[in-house]
Chains A and B, each alone.
Chain A
Amino acid sequence: MNDDLNSKLLSEGSDWTFELIEKYDREIARIAKKYKLDTYPNQIEIIRSDQMMDAYASVGMPIGYHHWSFGKQFLNVERGYSRGQMGLAYEIVINSNPCIAYLMEENSMTMQALVIAHACYGHNSFFKNNYLFKSWTDADSIIDYLVFARNFISECEERHGTGEVEAILDSCHALMHYGTDRYKRPYPISAEEERVRQHERAEYIQRQLNDLWRTIPRSAAANTDHDISRFPAEPQENLLYFIEKNAPLLEPWQREIVRIVRKIAQYFYPQRQTQVMNEGWATFWHYTILNDMFDEGLVSEGFMMEFLHSHSSVVAQPGFDSPYFTGMNPYALGFAMMRDIRRMCENPTEEDKRWFPEIAGSDWLSTLHFAMENFKDESFIQQYLSPQVIRDFHLFCIIDDDTSETIDVNAIHDDNGYRRVREALAAQYNLSSGEPNIQVHEVDVRGDRSLTLHHQQNSRKPLNDDTEEVLKHLYRLWKFDIYLFSYDGEEVDQSFRVPRKKGLSLAS
């Protein structure tokens, strides 16, 4: 009996081999299929730890263009790692088709299995099925596009000098988070087309621009006409796109670089909005799959001990007053919520039936898949955060108003507080609450070509000290004066002008 059980074990000891990885991958794939995890094919790459540092430094792009900021990132990782302040993540996974996952050579067999379940089946299925990823990224072409981008930028470096290219990239990076249309669906990017159409586009834009910036007076009549339509007709939130299409003096190659940064920002846009869900989903599945393997007798108790040890440290959530507290742990919150959804489906309590009538008692697998496919962090929390999870985490909400003497506790984990906590936490994951809402308001097309931006304050939160620096970057791209007015309601609260003019009062 005992022998019989042992004979099913996939491996003993902690060393991995390629055969073993294949064996584990086969079993994990089988179980994942049972749970209807729909994935891109996997490309599992075994790398050394120093290669992992490289992968880290390139912020998730398997092929990156050269830029000093990645070097900075690398030095940071290297220092943290060599001082032992930081362990390297066990895995990095790329949203591409095939889905690339890096496994570190140093990992034990248990960790390799964990990573395969987590990345190759968890994240992978999330990339393939979540609506944000489906509409904002194109996994088929991202690698090609990155290759195109790298080649294009290094060609530019040869032709125009590293310094020139670096300056443009610096400026684009400063505006990187303002390179997506939040409410418009983009066209998927295709590398092949990019290459073919790039030249065509450059010419076309230049022609359009020339028209926009035509300096020849049309007629005397037009000049006296004060009913000139505003440009742009509507406020523009996608600053990089606006620059790419409308900046008066950029060279075509500079426009293309703006576009590349914008496209890459767009590629990462879904990841920034689905951290909790994505990590929660992947963690839920590695947990479920490896437990299933144990139940089937494929892995030993020693394996499970090691796995649970690392799993529990991944999903630990220190309290707000702990020295280890660095904010909400997306792994912890996501994993707890995913588990909770399954619990509500399988063993609903009275409370669950009251709060989630349509979930309680439903088929857990399809409910979970639905949740994964159709939400982002903000809406996912708004929709699924249950009183149970709020209680488990002892969540509470504070209001920090600079007009008030004290910080007020607005809600805690009790009947009166659940909704408020949930709303506040959801809002915390809304990208626009973290990033100021800044839009292009107007361009003085007929006058000094200055660009005016408006910032609409959210709960009176002012702009930070970086603002002027960012505007300098914007000025480098636009090359004419930049104004930025920060509105608190209807009133201008802060105003900026770049470049600064001496002796000019900006208060309005």
Chain B
Amino acid sequence: MSYIIDRRLNSKDKSAVNRQRFLKRYKKHIKRAVSDAVSKRSITDMERGENIGIPQKDIDEPSFGHGQGGNRSRVLPGNKEFNTGDKIKRPEGGGGGSGGGDASDSGEGMDEFVFQITQEEFLEFMFEDLELPNLVKRQLTATETYKIVKAGISEEGTPNQLNVVRSMRSAYARRIAMGAKKKRRRNEILAELEARGDHSDDLDKSLREELALLERKLANIPFIDDFDLKFNVNKKEPQPCSKAVMFCLMDVSGSMDQRTKDIAKRFFILLYMFLQRNYEKTEVVFIRHHSTAKEVDEEEFFYSRETGGTVVSSALRLMNEIIEERYPLSEWNLYGAQASDGDNWTNDSPVCHKMLSTQLLPLLQYYCYIEITDRGHQELWQYYEKLAEEHSDAFAMRSIEDYADIYPIFRELFQSDKSGRA
């Protein structure tokens, strides 16, 4: 009467669609949770999944039911000491009891619906509808850079493409081919002459004549001929530019406290991760500056303190030098991110404006400036505002006051082109 069926090999993830639907429906909640997580995690810790908690009340499916109050009776098991007619004090906050639903005694940990999303999903949510500015453009025009690859050997070519080894080998083969018969004959004649000894009859004469002829012919075989020349064939293959370098510029003068640096760090983390996901290879150059600029490692960048004035242009100048030295434009996509509290030496801001405008921005994919301050903006901000107007496609700036501002600002800065950059 019974059929036994082995379903173990059936496809798994039958619930995948429903799970996706759920994630889609609660996207807002999940994104909020993800963005909270980003501001809490450390820089090395971005690439893992996350527990997402959604308030239970947002996720409940409503249905008609009884609220508290009224007159209700309930039968319970496990009576030990009660007798008919006993009066029990109402438990604190219990209100009118809980008709069947046990709302009162299962409250622990039930106010949040918690579930796991994978690392992939975590990052997807984090980067969703973000797009690196000009990224698409750059990808489409990536054929600007080519790589020369070998594509075999050809009989025709220009002298600079000559493949010497192949040509010589070919010449050698030809020489063997053309001279083999003659050489054999010459060797026979020589052997015969040798055997005959010192005679000078007709035969001897004709043999010698033939020998001379052969020698001449052999000597006439050219060492190398047009026919032998082999050329390398090279092909130009379009090479997508998949390397990016990110310049982190930060003011480390006395006015920048650790909290401000931490905020900046979060911003750099995000930018770094975003680049990392979009490019095969991403390098980071940390440049810190007070009155002079210096390239440093990450640890020093974020955690060492310096005192002194602030000259922003020193960092820009160093950045420019490093680009010229190490990052040819044909190979690298260049991004710049600058964090500062807005202080700058009085006469330096116009210099920064000029440097960025004329030297750096033409080279960069994108340059963003974040100012972390709760005070009013200063001269640097005003000059940068001008810059933002002139180069709206490659320059963006924002002001950040607290940790919570980072992610929205980051999104705003890198909002996809479709939705129009602010």
Contact = CB atoms under 8 A, between A and B. Distances in A.
A396 B21 contact: no
Contact of A57 (B15, B59, B76, B115): B15
B86 to A, nearest CB: 4
A86 B108 CA distance: 16
Interface in B72-130: 72-80, 82-90, 95-97, 99-100, 102, 105-106, 113-116
Interface string A426-444: 0110000011101000000
B18 A18 contact: no
A174 B63 contact: yes
A57 B115 CA distance: 14
Interface stretch (B1-9, B181-189, B326-334): B1-9
B219 interface: no
A42 B79 CA distance: 42
B73 A398 contact: yes
A401 B115 contact: no
A68 B65 contact: no
A466 B65 contact: yes
Given A50-B12, A76-B115, A319 B80 contact: yes
Nearest to A63: B14
A454 interface: no
B78 A68 contact: no
Main secondary structure of the interface of B (DSSP, over half): loop
Interface in A100-142: 102, 105, 120
Nearest to B15: A74
Interface stretch (B22-30, B225-233, B252-260, B368-376): B22-30
Given A408-B87, A409-B86, A397 B20 contact: no
A435 B100 CA distance: 11
A402 B71 contact: yes
B94 to A, nearest CB: 9
Contacts of A405: 87, 90
Contacts of B61: 69, 170, 173-174
A466 B7 contact: no
Contacts of B62: 174, 466, 469-470, 473
B17 interface: yes
Interface residues of B, number: 65
A212 interface: no
Interface in A452-470: 457-467, 469-470
A406 B15 CA distance: 48
B64 A70 contact: no
B197 interface: no
Contacts of B97: 400, 407
B64 A178 contact: yes
B113 to A, nearest CB: 7
Contacts of B72: 399-401, 459, 461
Interface in A58-80: 58, 66-76, 78-79
B22 A45 contact: no
B4 A67 contact: no
Nearest to B5: A45
Interface stretch (A6-14, A225-233, A268-276, A324-332): A324-332
Contacts of A410: 73, 84
A252 interface: no
Contact of B84 (A46, A79, A416, A460): A416
Interface string B54-73: 00000111111111111111
Best-surrounded residue of A69, A75, A410 (most CB of chain B within 10 A): A75
Contact of B15 (A29, A53, A461): A53
Given A43-B5, A174-B63, A412-B84, A71 B78 contact: no
Nearest to A327: B102
A405 B95 CA distance: 11
Nearest to B74: A398
Interface string A155-184: 000000010001000100111111000000
A406 B80 CA distance: 19
B194 to A, nearest CB: 92
Interface in A286-323: 317-322
A395 interface: yes
B2 A461 contact: no
A322 B22 contact: no
A438 B10 CA distance: 44
Given A41-B2, A50-B12, A69-B61, A412 B79 contact: yes
A68 B58 CA distance: 14
A378 interface: no
Nearest to B95: A402
Contact of B70 (A82, A396, A402): A402
Given A21-B4, A470-B62, A395 B87 contact: no
B114 to A, nearest CB: 7
B411 to A, nearest CB: 24
A463 B64 contact: yes
B235 interface: no
Interface in A411-428: 411-414, 416-417, 421, 424-425, 427-428
Contacts of A395: 75-77, 79
A326 B106 contact: yes
17 contacts: A67-B18, A69-B61, A70-B18, A71-B19, A72-B59, A75-B22, A174-B62, A317-B77, A400-B97, A412-B83, A434-B66, A434-B100, A460-B70, A461-B67, A466-B62, A466-B65, A467-B64
Given A51-B7, A401-B71, 14 more contacts: A44-B2, A57-B18, A69-B61, A71-B18, A74-B15, A74-B18, A174-B62, A177-B64, A394-B80, A395-B75, A397-B73, A409-B83, A412-B82, A436-B64
